[in-house]
């Protein structure tokens, strides 16, 4: 069979029209590799070889284009190619080649991931590590790069979050706010001991809020109760909100 015509397709592919009225689609790199020029003769065995090798090029290109969007780790590439129904052997080959060429590097990925989380999110070191472990990054790589998130930076970030939360939670009692802050910061992945220590340093003055809540409870409950019973009901309600009264 002779090659009669080339027609450019998408993603670096070409359709080769053969003189027996059949056609095959191949990656341009394969065409260059085997010097598949017009009028060149190829047989069935060669076509089978070309089509088999072409699947490797397609898998590689899929992975490379996925990497062009943003930096990825090996697990992300593997999962993406699986969704594209690429077989495991070709996935391994693509990952090995991309790693060899420097497009895939879990060390560099980890550095960038941690840097972005520090400066573009509120996540603490434990949450960042958990996310990286889910991406199957080697724990030694994670630990060595998490040194950037040292104790000084962690305390600075904890206090920044505390200050913000205090401003937007002015309707909460000191007790309730401390509890909420502690739970929130630990959930974000900050060291519990550091969180408790920094939260306890914050000076809360909720006397004005206590008076406001007391007056509100009094107006509501005095319609139904009076005397000591009224006082007991008010204190009980305030206690539930984290306020303490003598």
Same domain, residue pair 16 and 87? yes
Same domain, 24 and 77: yes
User: Of the ranges 26-35, 128-137, 220-229, which one carries the lowest mean pLDDT score?
Assistant: 220-229
Q: Are 212 and 243 contained in the same domain?
A: yes
With respect to residue 140, please indicate whether it lies within any of the assigned structural domains. Answer: yes
d(CA 174, CA 234): 18
Better-predicted residue by pLDDT, 162 or 235? 162
In this structure, the answer to whether residues 183 and 164 fall within a common structural domain is yes
What φ, ψ does residue 104 adopt, rounded to 5°? Answer: -115, 125
Verify that 29 and 18 share a domain, yes or no.
yes
Establish if 209 belongs to a structural domain.
yes
- The boundaries of the domain holding residue 53 are 3-100
Task: Identify the weakest region by mean pLDDT among 95-99, 150-154, 167-171, 176-180.
Answer: 167-171
69 and 117 together in one domain: no
Question: Would residue 87 count as lying in a domain?
Answer: yes
Question: To which residue do tokens 């005397």 refer?
Answer: 227
196 backbone dihedrals φ, ψ, rounded to 5°: -60, -45
Chain-centroid distance, C-alpha 197: 29
Residue 241 included in any domain? yes
Lowest mean pLDDT among 14-18, 42-46, 206-210: 206-210
Domain check: are 13 and 96 in the same one?
A: yes
Tell whether the model's pLDDT for residue 108 goes beyond 70.
yes
3-state SS assignment for residue 98: helix
- Per-chain mean pLDDT for the chain: 85
pLDDT at residue 60 tops 60? yes
pLDDT at 30: 82
**Residue 154 covered by a domain:** no
pLDDT computed for residue 141 by the predictor: 95
The predicted structure's pLDDT at residue 42 = 82
Q: Are residues 52 and 95 in the same domain?
A: yes
- DSSP count for the chain of H helices, then E strands: 12, 3
For residues 100-123, give the mean pLDDT: 94
Sign of the Cα pseudo-torsion (237, 238, 239, 245, in order): negative
Coil, helix or strand for 107? helix
Q: CA-CA distance, 118 to 182, in Å (whole number)?
A: 19
| 128, 53: one domain | no
Give the chain's domain count.
Answer: 4
Residue 35 has pLDDT above 80, yes or no: yes
Alpha carbon 63 to its chain's center: 19
pLDDT one-digit tens code per residue, 67-95: 988 999 999 999 999 999 999 999 999 99
Model-wide pTM > 0.75: no
Residue 230 lies in a domain: yes
């Amino acid at each position: 069979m002779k090659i009669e015509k080339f027609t450019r397709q998408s993603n670096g592919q070409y359709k080769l029209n053969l003189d027996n009225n059949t056609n095959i689609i191949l990656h341009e790199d394969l065409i260059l590799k085997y010097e598949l020029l017009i009028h060149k003769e190829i047989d069935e065995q060669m076509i089978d070889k070309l089509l088999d090798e072409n699947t490797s090029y397609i898998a590689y290109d899929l992975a490379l284009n996925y990497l062009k969007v943003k930096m990825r780790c090996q697990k992300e590439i593997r999962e993406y190619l699986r969704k594209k129904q690429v077989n495991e052997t070709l996935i391994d080959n693509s990952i090995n080649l991309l790693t060899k060429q420097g497009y895939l590097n879990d060390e560099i990925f980890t550095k960038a991931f941690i840097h972005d989380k520090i400066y573009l999110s509120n996540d603490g070191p434990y949450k960042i590590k958990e996310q990286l472990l889910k991406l199957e990054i080697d724990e030694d790589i994670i630990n060595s790069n998490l040194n950037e998130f040292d104790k000084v930076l962690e305390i600075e970030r904890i206090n920044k979050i505390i200050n913000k939360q205090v401003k937007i939670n002015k309707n909460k009692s000191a007790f309730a706010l401390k509890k909420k802050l502690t739970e929130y910061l630990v959930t974000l992945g900050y060291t519990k001991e550091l969180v408790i220590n920094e939260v306890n340093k914050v000076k809360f003055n909720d006397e004005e809020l206590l008076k406001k809540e007391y007056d509100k409870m009094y107006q509501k409950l005095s319609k139904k109760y009076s005397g000591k019973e009224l006082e007991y009901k008010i204190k009980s309600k305030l206690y539930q909100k984290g306020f303490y009264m003598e």
